Amino acid sequence: MADNILVVKNITKHYPGVRALDNVSLNIERGEIHALVGENGAGKSTLMNVLSGTLAYGDYEGSTEYDGKECRFKNVRDSEKVGIVYIHQELALIPELSIGENMFLGNERKGRFGIDWDETFSQAAAHLKQVGLKDSPSTLIKDIGTGKQQLVEIAKALSKNVKLLILDEPTSSLNEEEAKMLLDMLKDFKKQGMTSIISSHKLSEVAYVADRITIMRDGKFIETIDNQDRNIDEDRIIRGMVGREMTDRYPSREHNISSEIGLEVKDWSVYHPVYTEKRVVNHVSFNVHKGEIIGFSGLQGAGRTELAMSIFGKSYGTAITGTLEVAGKEIHLKNERDAIEAGVAYLTEDRKGNGLILIDTVARNTTLARLEKVCRHGVINVDKENRVAEEYREKLRTKTPTVQQNVGNLSGGNQQKVLLAKWMFADSDVLIMDEPTRGIDVGAKYEIYGIMNDLVEQGKSVIMISSEMPELLGMCDRIYVMNEGELVAEMNACDATQEKIMGAILRSGKKASKDESKGA
């Protein structure tokens, strides 16, 4: 008989116009790594909110049992007391505080006269060692990368004597090397007796790490698949997630690329906004034709996002030099508004922080970049705004009960569609799309790929930044490779492979090391 650490019975949760969970029951075995998979809106995050006390007992129907006892958590602190720790997709760290301060925030090490800082930093150092981080506990969070911040969150969980670790999309912001290191860490924790629940849209990672995989769809439990031998077929998971076969993950299109260049960037350099002596983009030149999708590949910190944001009205960086040409005409962009009016859009990788106003409606977010198009004499025509939003809701098949729904209540994939609608309504000729499918499921990805194809068939130019190499190979006409702020390779997608892309990155890294040695 299975030794279950957690048993979920008949959980149902309603939101306005939506049944997020519909009579869900499952069990989690002690010491296993259990994956939750499903399309955006399948109910995974809501279920994890129930298990972690983020949703208080009484705010949902049904029951949960942990270690044989019924859970009646009023808040997260109650669940953490018994060893359940939830790490959200959006990391809950304060950038201006140190690693040690973040790790024990709300769980302070107390001394006779307040916080015992020696104890705080010594314990932090011990937990950092457990997750393989060599940084000092006094290092500020803002001074370490996203991959290390994810490890700090795990170290923070260890400081709370975690027995059941729940992780929501833990690798969505990590490169392949960082992601594998995190997954291998979960395997090590399993050997030590820890139980983990992981939600992820990266099915290759799920197949690699999970002992069992539970599929959810439309708020319902579909099935749990055994994966002890680690040979699960990804198509088998997809079929359960979307309720149908997906024979091709990337929609086909006619590659009718114009000879006209949509955007040309020449000799572009950018310096860090805080560490102004640090050059983050180094004399980069590239172009994208009308009707073409180009991709940018590179490891975390390669400078791709910094390049994109600096092009978009100098929204990142200092001492920016170089020239921009749109449709053959040189342009000078002082700010984001200039970029929008010049026909350049930037679809940010951080949709919740920078792309959307979560406490505002689908309608308002849709028109936000070009409000003047729904205004008369400076006053918003609400009826027109609603008609526009409804048109894009139908066009992009955005799942929302009404365009008056707040964007924060939508699933990640549908939030991404609203962000796309915002820039489509702006009628931009050049769309820079930074990680456009991050944190969304295979079905929603396919729909967004289709939208990208529609845009280039209309003669638009699309620049796609992605950390998923198969995505770049499946969608792009050409691929540029960046490393340490420089363009190190350009290749036609039909000739490119993951091995060639990684080879270009590694060769450029070795060359840079040799150059530094010569300089020394």
CA dist., res. 451 & res. 101, Å (int): 44
Give Cα 212 distance to the centre of its chain.
Answer: 24
Query: What average pLDDT does this structure show over 149-166?
Result: 87
- Give the pair of three-digit tokens for residue 288: 């994208």
Q: Are 361 and 403 in contact (CB under 8 A)?
A: yes
pLDDT class of 518 with cuts at 50, 70, 90:
low
Residue 235 has pLDDT above 90, yes or no: no
Residue 112 has pLDDT above 80, yes or no: no
Residue 195 has pLDDT above 70, yes or no: yes
| Range in 128-137, 307-316, 362-371, 441-450 with the lowest mean pLDDT | 441-450
Query: What pLDDT is recorded for position 509?
Result: 61
Amino acid at 308: A
Query: What pLDDT is recorded for position 517?
Result: 46
pLDDT class of 7 with cuts at 50, 70, 90:
very high
pLDDT class of 470 with cuts at 50, 70, 90:
confident
Q: Are 347 and 354 in contact (CB under 8 A)?
A: no
Query: What pLDDT is recorded for position 519?
Result: 52
Query: What pLDDT is recorded for position 244?
Result: 62
Specify the higher pLDDT residue, 180 or 476: 476
For CA atoms 33, 39, 45, 50, the dihedral sign is: negative
Residues whose CB falls within 8 Å of the CB of residue 168, separated by 6 or more in sequence, listed in order: 44, 45, 48, 86, 87, 88, 89, 199
What are φ and ψ of residue 58, in 5° steps?
105, -20
pLDDT class of 465 with cuts at 50, 70, 90:
very high
Residues whose CB falls within 8 Å of the CB of residue 290, separated by 6 or more in sequence, listed in order: 257, 258, 260, 261, 262, 327, 429, 459, 460, 461
**pTM assigned to the model:** 0.66
| 324: alpha, beta or left? (left if phi > 0; alpha if psi -120 to 50) | beta
Identify the three-state secondary structure at position 388.
helix
Residue 12 has pLDDT above 90, yes or no: yes
CA dist., res. 503 & res. 162, Å (int): 40
Query: What pLDDT is recorded for position 515?
Result: 53
Strand 195-199, strand 33-37: pairing: parallel
Query: What pLDDT is recorded for position 513?
Result: 46
For all residues of the chain together, what is the average pLDDT? 88
Query: What pLDDT is recorded for position 484?
Result: 87
Residue 40 has pLDDT above 90, yes or no: no
Residue 298 has pLDDT above 90, yes or no: no
The proportion of the chain whose per-residue pLDDT surpasses 70, expressed as a percent, equals 96
Residues whose CB falls within 8 Å of the CB of residue 382, separated by 6 or more in sequence, listed in order: none
Residue 420 has pLDDT above 80, yes or no: yes
Strand 84-87, strand 164-168: pairing: parallel
Strand 461-465, strand 293-297: pairing: parallel
CA dist., res. 509 & res. 513, Å (int): 6
CA dist., res. 243 & res. 95, Å (int): 41
Listed ranges 93-107, 144-158, 311-325; the one with the highest mean pLDDT: 311-325
Specify the higher pLDDT residue, 517 or 475: 475
CA dist., res. 100 & res. 329, Å (int): 51
Residue in 292, 305, 339 with CA at minimum distance from that of residue 476: 292
Query: What average pLDDT does this structure show over 173-178?
Result: 74
Identify the three-state secondary structure at position 476.
coil
Residues whose CB falls within 8 Å of the CB of residue 414, separated by 6 or more in sequence, listed in order: 40, 41, 398, 399, 400, 444
| Range in 184-198, 239-253, 466-480 with the lowest mean pLDDT | 239-253
Residue 512 has pLDDT above 60, yes or no: no
Specify the higher pLDDT residue, 275 or 40: 275
CA dist., res. 336 & res. 372, Å (int): 15
Residue 247 has pLDDT above 70, yes or no: no
Each residue of 52-108: pLDDT tens digit? 999 999 999 999 999 999 999 999 989 999 999 998 877 788 888 999 999 888 778
CA 63 vs CA 36, 56, 71: distances in Å: 19, 12, 7
